[in-house]
């Protein structure tokens, strides 16, 4: 984007998304970059091959297409370097392996994306790494859980499924004072609505599968690191050899161009529906950080620039033995909301949330929890769909 605008001018996010990256003059005027597929890269002679002076050397180490995406993400995250990995889960777990050794201890938020907890229990513990879980609301009380061998603190805010917020800046400062690496899963907010590295986090991870893809057709994870941790991460991934295809990198780069307008639409529709749900007699609670009634609202308002389109609500149901039947009646009556995992695409989705793996932060006890991904459909049609769900619950 250099040279296109005065460096001191405050450039809006949608303008940045539209113009970031190398200009069209470098590709014969075509607006979009090409897709460079490849494993083998040829060297002009044996001396250059030996000298490691050539920019591209082998497909797993990057291509112009994957670099274009990494540079765009570095600009959005304020990071020194970004890794592209085959899934969001790989992006969350690779930094743990890169930063932890046998005998180390890590602190993991109890409301974490469930497969990340499974990785800690199945893989890290087997490798001799101790893991303790903390309450997302702990704040600077985190300090009391830090041991002499604590090396890493992982955060995720808002939490998966229940959306608890964390005081990221204060907690990161405490962790850093004790020499820990601080990692954060920032998938929900995207770097458009929250920039973890500006709040003291070392490594920001994303499931690019969600909003950056935006169309439920690409799986990718990204890990963006500050200068202190970047070399260590890059070295770890050189050992693993994890990479993505140029075609997928191109699609994520394409998704970023429209992510600002898509997110704004997801945000407005989701807040509209969240407010509407909050006023209903058949809803016990709405779990959305953008609602003033939500316990984490003040932190969200202080730190975040916006909210994405995923939140949960609790169906009012007094007797726990009715919960599953009522949740299933609700879901089965929906037509526009698909029943499926993941989110961030253009289409709405709904799931019955399972919190059985939680230890500390057990979530609401007022009824079954339904998570909604609000897509780009018209809000009135989505509300009519949800009305069908509530009618089915009343009959169940």
Nearest to ligand PLP by Cβ — which residue?
88
Binding residue for ligand PLP, selected from 258, 328, 342, 366, defined by CB under 6 A: 342
Per the CB < 8 A criterion, the answer to whether 30 and 24 are in contact is: yes
Per the CB < 8 A criterion, the answer to whether 309 and 360 are in contact is: no
Binding residue for ligand PLP, selected from 14, 15, 57, 87, defined by CB under 6 A: 87
Site membership for ligand PLP, residue 306 (CB under 6 A): no
Question: What character string, x for contact with ligand PLP (CB under 6 A) and - otherwise, covers 40-69?
Answer: ------------------------------
- Nearer CB in complex with ligand PLP: 307/317: 307
* Separation of alpha carbons 286 and 178, rounded Å: 36
Site membership for ligand PLP, residue 219 (CB under 6 A): yes
- Nearer CB in complex with ligand PLP: 88/95: 88
Site membership for ligand PLP, residue 258 (CB under 6 A): no
Site membership for ligand PLP, residue 168 (CB under 6 A): no
Per the CB < 8 A criterion, the answer to whether 109 and 117 are in contact is: no
Binding residue for ligand PLP, selected from 62, 95, 158, 221, defined by CB under 6 A: 221
Per the CB < 8 A criterion, the answer to whether 207 and 88 are in contact is: yes
Contacting residues for 177 by C-beta, under 8 A, at least 6 apart = none
Site membership for ligand PLP, residue 92 (CB under 6 A): yes
Neighbours of 93 (CB within 10 A): 22
- Work out how close the CB of 232 gets to ligand PLP at its nearest, in angstroms, rounded to a whole number: 21
* Separation of alpha carbons 180 and 174, rounded Å: 9
- Work out how close the CB of 29 gets to ligand PLP at its nearest, in angstroms, rounded to a whole number: 35
Question: What character string, x for contact with ligand PLP (CB under 6 A) and - otherwise, covers 143-162?
Answer: -------------x---x--
- Work out how close the CB of 209 gets to ligand PLP at its nearest, in angstroms, rounded to a whole number: 3
- Work out how close the CB of 196 gets to ligand PLP at its nearest, in angstroms, rounded to a whole number: 13
Binding residue for ligand PLP, selected from 185, 248, 285, 303, defined by CB under 6 A: 185
- Work out how close the CB of 341 gets to ligand PLP at its nearest, in angstroms, rounded to a whole number: 8
- Work out how close the CB of 386 gets to ligand PLP at its nearest, in angstroms, rounded to a whole number: 22
Q: State the sign of the Cα–Cα–Cα–Cα dihedral 384, 387, 388, 389.
A: positive
* Separation of alpha carbons 361 and 355, rounded Å: 9
- Nearer CB in complex with ligand PLP: 181/252: 252
Q: What is the dihedral of CA 25, 28, 30, 34, to 10 degrees?
A: -100
Helix count and strand count (H, E) for the chain: 12, 12
Site membership for ligand PLP, residue 269 (CB under 6 A): no
* Separation of alpha carbons 122 and 83, rounded Å: 24
Site membership for ligand PLP, residue 289 (CB under 6 A): no
DSSP codes of every residue in 81-142: EEEEESSHHHHHHHHHHHH--TT-EEEEETTS-HHHHHHIIIIITTTT-EEEEE-GGGGGGG
Give me the helix-helix angle, 379-395 and 323-332, nearest 10°. 140
Contacting positions for ligand PLP (CB under 6 A): 87-89, 92, 113, 156, 160, 185, 187, 207, 209-210, 219, 221, 342
């Amino acid at each position: 984007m250099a040279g296109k605008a005065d460096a001191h001018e405050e450039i809006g996010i949608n303008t940045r998304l539209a113009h970031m990256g190398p200009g069209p003059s470098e590709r014969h005027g075509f607006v979009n970059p090409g897709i460079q597929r490849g494993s083998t890269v040829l060297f002009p002679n044996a001396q250059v091959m030996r000298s490691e002076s050539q920019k591209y050397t082998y497909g797993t180490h990057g291509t112009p297409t994957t670099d274009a995406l990494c540079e765009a993400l570095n600009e959005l995250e304020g990071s020194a370097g970004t890794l592209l990995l085959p899934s969001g889960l790989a992006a969350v777990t690779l930094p743990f392996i890169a930063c932890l050794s046998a005998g180390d201890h890590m602190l993991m938020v109890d409301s974490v994306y469930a497969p990340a907890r499974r990785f800690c229990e199945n893989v890290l513990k087997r490798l001799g790494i101790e893991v303790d879980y903390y309450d997302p609301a702990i704040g600077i009380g985190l300090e009391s859980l830090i041991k002499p061998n604590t090396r890493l603190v992982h955060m995720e805010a808002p939490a998966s499924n229940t959306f608890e917020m964390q005081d990221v800046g204060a907690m990161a400062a405490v962790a850093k004072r004790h020499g820990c690496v601080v990692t954060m899963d920032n998938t929900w907010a995207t770097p458009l609505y929250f920039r973890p590295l500006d709040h003291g986090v070392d490594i920001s991870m994303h499931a690019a599968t969600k909003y950056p893809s935006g169309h439920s057709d690409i799986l990718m994870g990204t890990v963006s690191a500050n200068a202190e941790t970047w070399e260590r991460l890059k070295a770890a991934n050189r050992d693993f050899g994890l990479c993505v295809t140029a075609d997928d990198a191109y699609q994520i780069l394409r998704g970023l161009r429209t992510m600002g307008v898509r997110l704004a639409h997801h945000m407005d529709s989701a807040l509209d529906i969240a407010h509407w749900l909050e006023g209903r007699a058949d809803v016990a609670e709405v779990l959305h950080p953008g609602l003033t009634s939500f316990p984490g609202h003040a932190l969200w308002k202080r730190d975040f620039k916006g909210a994405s389109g995923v939140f949960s609500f609790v169906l009012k149901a007094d007797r726990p033995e009715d919960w599953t039947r009522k949740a299933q009646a609700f879901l089965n009556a929906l037509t526009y909301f698909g029943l499926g995992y993941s989110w961030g695409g253009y289409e709405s989705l709904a799931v019955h949330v399972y919190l059985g793996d939680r230890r500390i932060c057990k979530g609401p006890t007022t009824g079954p929890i339904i998570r909604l991904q609000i897509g780009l459909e018209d809000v009135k049609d989505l509300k009519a769909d949800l009305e069908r769900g509530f009618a089915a619950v009343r009959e169940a």
